[in-house]
Amino acid sequence: MEGASNGGMLYHEVQESKLCAVHCVNTVLQGPFFSEFDLAALASDLDRKERQMMMPQGAAGGGDFLSQESHNVSLDGDFSIQVLEKALEVFDLLVIPLNSPVAEPAQIDPELENAFICHLQDHWFCIRKVNGEWYNFDSLYAAPQHLSKFYLSAYLDSLKGFGWSIFLVRGNFPREFPISSSEAPSGYGQWLSPEDAERIIKSCNTTQPPPQRIDQTDQTLSDMEDEDLKAAIAASLMDTTVTPQASEAATSQAKKETSEAATSQAKNETSEAATSQAEKETR
């Protein structure tokens, strides 16, 4: 059942520092439910439990593992998938790798699901169905980008092809978050109508209107195509470009042929003149 109606409004957060994991969780939930401090607390709890598991039985110290930095949050605010899972578990939501057997139906008909989490290197974002429509809530965008049901499948395939890890989110999503103002308490979140989101996306996207553009993935594809084109042109030029040595040899050959032609022509003209002179003297 589709949740997070919020009176037909869309909740979106714009990128702040490296807090894309926070933005991702909140846009999955469609409301400013978590701050970076909330996720940091979850990360700290995960670190503590991991250290307890790694600590030798009866040992007073924790060994080398205890002296290491957190495995669940970086100093600049990037969080692990385990932290996102814990945050969403608070709302009884389950995070499932899209390539797992249990998620096979979502691989065939992704439009029947409600949310996906996407991750590559240190960036997280969610693709979410709100009030029956799909949107890309990437925090690098100024507003949610609408995705058609057909384009959703192609977009997910494109992301997978470029190495993105994709997770399916299942469960009963929150239906409402109290909206007290147009700005969320975080300062980087906002409530937008679908019409406002479309207007903002169109104003920001001067090259291609949504949903034709596939954000960084499409740009990477375009860059690769440009490099392939450059490589093809370079290879073509290598086949057709005349090197200095070849140019010199060609010039020498041309001079030789010209000289031989001139000599042959001179011999012909001399021979013809001598024949003509001989005929005159005979007469």
138 catalytic residue (yes or no): yes
Q: Among the residues of 162-243, which ranges form H helices?
A: 194-204, 215-240
Q: Which of 12, 78, 118, 138 is catalytic?
A: 138
123 catalytic residue (yes or no): yes
**CA dist., res. 164 & res. 119, Å (int):** 6
Residue 268 sits at the vertex; the CA angle it makes with 265 and 269, to the nearest 5 degrees, is 85
Q: Which of 12, 20, 47, 126 is catalytic?
A: 20
Q: Which of 23, 119, 123, 126 is catalytic?
A: 123
Query: What DSSP element (H or E) covers 260?
Result: helix 244-282
Which CA distances in Å does 249 have to 96, 239, 242, 252, 263? 68, 17, 10, 5, 21
Q: 184 CB contacts (<8 Å, ≥6 apart)?
A: 11, 13, 31, 32, 190, 191
Residues facing residue 147 across a β-bridge: 134
Provide the annotated active-site residues: 20, 123, 138
